[in-house]
Each structure stands twice: as C-alpha cells, then as structure tokens.
Amino acid sequence: MAWSAARFNLAPGGEAHYAEGLYVTGDFFRVLGVPAFMGRTFTVEDDDLSCNSPGAVVSYAFWQSAMAGDSGAIGKTLTLDGKPFTVCGRDARQFLWCRGGQQI
C-alpha cells in the first residue's frame, strides 16, 4: 500500500480552487479496512498500467460541498488539475482519493 498527499485544482479555468487529497494504490482501502459508502473503492486491478480511466473516491464532505450531494455522482467526471477522473465511489472520510494510470 502506498499514498502521496496532493492538492488538486478543481477549477476548469480562471482562479484556482483547491481540494486536499491523496494519490493511493489500489490496495489502499482494503489494507485500511475502509469500505465504500456508495459505488466502490479501488482494487489492485486499478493499478494496471493499461488503466486509461483514472478514478476518484470522494469523501462525504467533498461530495456535499463540491458535488452538492448529488446521488448520481458515481460515474460523473471530476476535473483535477485539468485532467478527467471518473468518480467510482464515496466514503465517509475527509479526503479526495485518486488512482489511475494517468498521473497528475
């Protein structure tokens, strides 16, 4: 399991708007025993270099503040530092977790 703290710019242009988060490996949630509340968390299959659709697991707080508590958020795209990440899950933690073959 590995992780790296990050600060993601959520703004598609203009003035930056940042969210704190982590880059994590696919086994991060399993090792910590953190389940998904909605959707799914990452798996080791998400670590495959051929993964061309990076994902994001968002926290409850982020889901409320940045996504207006949208019950249809799973499958939607977040733009982080100008790159697309598909929301695959939501947990109850305070961070934005990102994983995928594309690195910011």
Hey, how many other C-beta atoms are within 10 angstroms of the C-beta on 59?
21
104 domain-assigned: no
Tokens of 21: 């988060």
pLDDT of residue 93: 63
Give CA–CA dist 42/30, Å, rounded: 8
How many independent structural domains does the chain possess? Answer: 1
93 domain-assigned: yes
pTM to 2 decimal places: 0.81
47 domain-assigned: yes
pLDDT of residue 95: 58
Per-position pLDDT tens, the chain of length 104: 898 999 999 988 889 999 988 999 999 989 988 888 899 999 888 888 776 678 999 988 889 888 999 999 999 999 899 888 999 999 866 555 666 544 33
Question: Long-range contacts: 13-17, Cβ < 8 Å, 24+?
Answer: none
Provide the domain limits for residue 92.
Answer: 3-99
65 domain-assigned: yes
25 domain-assigned: yes
